[in-house]
């Protein structure tokens, strides 16, 4: 029998209570957090869909592995396991452990960047862009046109525009820091990148002598889409698909907090020895010695196990199909969404949901606050709060899209939690035309979405 119900392919062995609050309590908490969910306390959140990063539930096998963690400063056994797991997966000889993805980003982009340098990506994730810009370099996004149309159905909306890449590499000849393919494309809607696209990018990079890096934190999820959507790929295992993609690149940056199913960790892997040596110097300076790089032995052990578990076909099937299940439920309610549904999250098109709220009044922030008020759901705005810039006249240069992300932690929530989320959107839709925008009252220079303060407009 072919079941419609997607069961979680695991049993629950340990539970963590959720504090249930009232709407009146949440109204107070939201005001105290200056209408920025990053400033809410986790204990005041019922369903936390802010991120899928570092929020995974580890398996019994990973917890058991943690007891095996070797905390030696140098030559740790756990490091050997992690290094071997990464080498086997990426096919890259040089592996640098880091405490999370952005530490690897700071090292590699700090080294390759600097004033006058240019980086090109399908879409830079916010920390990627910030690290590049902090070095003085410029980050250019070059997604395919289809990726910008949220309603359009396309199997690989995360793809890079290879013709534009070719043009950009010619234009910035001699000044290119690296080309970065983010799989899946998080800021572009969690959309997958095809093998053909990765091959196209690799070929163009080779022709122009540009360094090609993968931001691979969701590579297993990306592999699921490649296997099920790309001709000629169905016969390969998920791991083989990932390995084939890694083989095309010169290096990879990974936040292990996603597809390595752990709460902390990351790495930078490289093929080139000289580049690895330069990065290793920076690693030792700020992260730690080469055999731990800021990650404890037990976490390296869990990473090695997680990198294996994540490619389990039953897990990946459940993971992608359950995210799609939530997306389809919202779609059926008429909620404007990024289509098709990506791997780790459902992205709502707040610009279409609230056409009466202009970008400078942050429609995404309005939805994020609604979800918290109505149900204690924490989500994140990926729009003009996150990516907006100010023009010379002080006016807002809005982001292309105004999205809100419901990111699903791995192996954490059950189907009833997701039903609760879907039900909340019935009310969001009823309140739609009455929902108002926000204004920013305080903001820092970089990554303003983390700490900005807002005020509701009346
Ligand atoms: N690259 C991508 C594509 C990411 O999604 C993230 C993190 C990073 C790099 C940085 O990794 O957090 O370990 O330093 N994304 C999280 C998110 C924060 O919520 O999407 P990190």
Task: Look at the block and give the residue holding tokens 């983390």.
Answer: 450
Judgement on whether residues 359 and 439 belong to the same structural domain of the protein = yes
Confidence of residue 229 (pLDDT cuts 50, 70, 90): very high
pLDDT digits (tens, 9 = 90+) for 270-296: 999 999 999 999 999 999 999 999 999
Atom of ligand 1 nearest to the CA of 185: 3
> 105 CA distance to ligand 1 centroid (A)?
10
pLDDT digits (tens, 9 = 90+) for 387-418: 888 989 889 999 988 999 999 999 999 999 99
Mean pLDDT (whole number) for 89-114 = 98
Q: What residue owns the CA closest to ligand 1's atom 1?
A: 125
Task: Look at the block and give the residue holding tokens 């992260």.
Answer: 287
Q: Provide the pairing of β-strand 251-255 with 212-215.
A: parallel
Q: Is residue 343 part of a domain?
A: yes
Please report, rounded to a whole number, the percentage of residues in the chain having pLDDT higher than 70: 100
Q: What residue owns the CA closest to ligand 1's atom 5?
A: 186
Judgement on whether residues 350 and 303 belong to the same structural domain of the protein = no
Judgement on whether residues 172 and 284 belong to the same structural domain of the protein = yes
> 123 CA distance to ligand 1 centroid (A)?
13
Is residue 76 scored above 90 in pLDDT?
Answer: yes
Judgement on whether residues 301 and 317 belong to the same structural domain of the protein = no
Q: What residue owns the CA closest to ligand 1's atom 2?
A: 125
Q: Is residue 53 part of a domain?
A: no
Q: Provide the pairing of β-strand 396-397 with 377-378.
A: unpaired
Cite the beta strand spans of 99-149 per DSSP E.
118-121, 138-141
Ligand 1 mutation pick, 38, 98, 125, 266, max ligand atoms within 8 A of CB = 125
Q: Is residue 448 part of a domain?
A: yes
Judgement on whether residues 302 and 316 belong to the same structural domain of the protein = no
Q: Which of 76, 82, 16 is nearest to 43 (CA)?
A: 16
Q: What's the pLDDT score for residue 240? A: 98
Q: What's the pLDDT score for residue 85? A: 98
Q: Is residue 172 part of a domain?
A: yes
Domains held by the chain: number: 2
Q: Is residue 13 part of a domain?
A: no
| Length of the chain measured in residues | 458
> 56 CA distance to ligand 1 centroid (A)?
14
Angle between helices 415-431 and 313-332 (to 10 degrees): 20
Judgement on whether residues 232 and 116 belong to the same structural domain of the protein = yes
Q: Which of 273, 294, 309 is the last residue of a domain?
A: 309
Q: Which of 294, 309, 324 is the last residue of a domain?
A: 309
Q: Give the residues surrounding ligand 1 with Cβ less than 6 Å away.
A: 51, 53, 100-102, 125, 127-128, 182, 186, 215, 217, 255, 257, 266, 407
Is residue 87 scored above 80 in pLDDT?
Answer: yes
Is residue 187 scored above 80 in pLDDT?
Answer: no
Q: What's the pLDDT score for residue 380? A: 95
Judgement on whether residues 317 and 296 belong to the same structural domain of the protein = no
Is residue 97 scored above 90 in pLDDT?
Answer: yes
Q: Which of 293, 309, 325 is the last residue of a domain?
A: 309
Q: Is residue 3 part of a domain?
A: no
Decide if 257 contacts 221 (C-beta within 8 A). Answer: no
Take residue 4 and report the two structure tokens written for it. 């419609």
* DSSP codes, 41-92: -GGG-SEE-S-SSS-PPPPHHHHHHHHT----SSS-HHHHHHHHHHHHHH--
Judgement on whether residues 286 and 407 belong to the same structural domain of the protein = no
Which residues in 177-205 are b (16+ Cβ under 10 Å) and which e?
A: bbbbbbbbbbbbbbbbbbbbbbebbbebb
CATH number at residue 160: 3.40.640.10
List beta partners, residue 397.
Answer: 389
| Alpha carbon separation from 443 to 437, 439, 446, 451 (Å, rounded) | 17, 11, 9, 7
Distance (Å, whole) CA 252 – CA 275: 12
Decide if 176 contacts 210 (C-beta within 8 A). Answer: yes
Atom of ligand 1 nearest to the CA of 104: 14
Q: What's the pLDDT score for residue 81? A: 98
Ligand 1 mutation pick, 50, 51, 56, 101, max ligand atoms within 8 A of CB = 101
Judgement on whether residues 223 and 154 belong to the same structural domain of the protein = yes
Domain containing 270 equals 60-309
Q: Which residues contact 184 (CB under 8 A, 6 or more apart)?
A: 158, 190, 191, 192, 193, 218, 221, 222, 225, 342, 343, 344
Q: What residue owns the CA closest to ligand 1's atom 16?
A: 53
Distance (Å, whole) CA 136 – CA 184: 26
> 188 CA distance to ligand 1 centroid (A)?
13
> 233 CA distance to ligand 1 centroid (A)?
27
Judgement on whether residues 240 and 133 belong to the same structural domain of the protein = yes
CATH number at residue 316: 3.90.1150.10
Distance (Å, whole) CA 260 – CA 14: 20
Distance (Å, whole) CA 189 – CA 191: 5
Q: What residue owns the CA closest to ligand 1's atom 4?
A: 125
Write down the H helix ranges in 191-271.
Answer: 195-208, 219-229, 238-248
Q: Is residue 120 part of a domain?
A: yes
Judgement on whether residues 114 and 212 belong to the same structural domain of the protein = yes
Q: Is residue 146 part of a domain?
A: yes
Atom of ligand 1 nearest to the CA of 52: 19
Judgement on whether residues 288 and 263 belong to the same structural domain of the protein = yes
Ligand 1 mutation pick, 53, 132, 139, 368, max ligand atoms within 8 A of CB = 53
Atom of ligand 1 nearest to the CA of 127: 10
Take residue 201 and report the two structure tokens written for it. 């990018």
Is residue 341 scored above 80 in pLDDT?
Answer: yes
Is residue 188 scored above 80 in pLDDT?
Answer: no
Decide if 146 contacts 152 (C-beta within 8 A). Answer: yes
> 406 CA distance to ligand 1 centroid (A)?
15
Q: What residue owns the CA closest to ligand 1's atom 18?
A: 53
């Amino acid at each position: 029998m072919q079941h419609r119900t997607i069961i979680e392919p695991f049993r629950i062995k340990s539970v963590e209570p959720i504090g249930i609050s009232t709407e009146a309590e949440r109204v107070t908490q939201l005001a105290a957090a200056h209408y920025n969910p990053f400033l809410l306390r986790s204990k005041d959140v019922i369903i936390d869909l802010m991120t899928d990063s570092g929020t995974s539930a580890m398996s019994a096998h990973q917890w058991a592995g943690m007891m095996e963690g070797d905390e030696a400063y140098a030559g740790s056994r756990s490091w050997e396991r992690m290094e071997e797991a990464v080498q086997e997966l990426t096919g890259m000889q040089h592996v640098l452990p880091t405490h999370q993805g952005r530490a690897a980003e700071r090292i590699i982009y700090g080294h390759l960047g600097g004033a006058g340098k240019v980086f090109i990506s399908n879409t830079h994730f916010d920390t990627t862009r910030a690290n590049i810009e902090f070095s003085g370099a410029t980050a250019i996004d070059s997604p395919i046109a289809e990726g910008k149309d949220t309603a359009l159905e396309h199997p690989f909306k995360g793809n890079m525009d290879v013709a534009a890449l070719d043009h950009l590499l010619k234009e910035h000849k001699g000044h290119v820091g690296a080309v970065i393919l983010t799989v899946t494309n998080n800021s572009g809607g969690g959309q997958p990148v095809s093998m053909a696209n990765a091959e196209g990018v690799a070929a163009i990079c080779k022709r122009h002598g540009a360094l090609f890096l993968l931001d691979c934190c969701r590579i297993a999820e990306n592999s699921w889409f490649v296997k099920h959507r790309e001709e000629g790929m169905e016969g390969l295992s998920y791991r083989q698909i990932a390995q084939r993609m890694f083989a095309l690149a010169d290096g990879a940056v990974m936040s292990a907090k996603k597809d390595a199913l752990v709460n902390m960790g990351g790495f930078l892997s490289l093929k080139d020895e000289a580049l690895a040596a330069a990065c290793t110097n920076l690693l030792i300076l700020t992260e730690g010695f080469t055999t731990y790089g800021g990650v404890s032995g037990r976490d390296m052990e869990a990473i090695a196990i997680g990198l294996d578990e994540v490619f389990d076909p039953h897990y990946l099937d459940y993971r992608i199909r359950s995210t799609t299940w939530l997306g389809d439920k919202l779609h059926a309610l008429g909620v404007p969404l990024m289509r098709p549904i990506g791997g780790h999250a459902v992205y709502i098109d707040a610009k279409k949901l609230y056409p009466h709220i202009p970008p400078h009044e942050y429609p995404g922030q309005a939805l994020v606050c609604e979800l918290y008020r109505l149900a204690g759901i924490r989500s994140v705005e990926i729009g003009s709060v996150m990516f907006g810039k100010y023009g010379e006249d002080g006016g807002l240069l809005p982001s292309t899209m105004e999205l809100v992300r419901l990111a699903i932690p791995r192996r954490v929530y059950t189907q009833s939690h997701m039903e609760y989320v879907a039900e909340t959107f019935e009310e969001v839709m009823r309140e739609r035309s009455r929902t108002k925008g926000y204004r920013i009252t305080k903001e820092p220079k970089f990554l303003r979405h983390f700490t900005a303060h807002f005020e509701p407009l009346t």
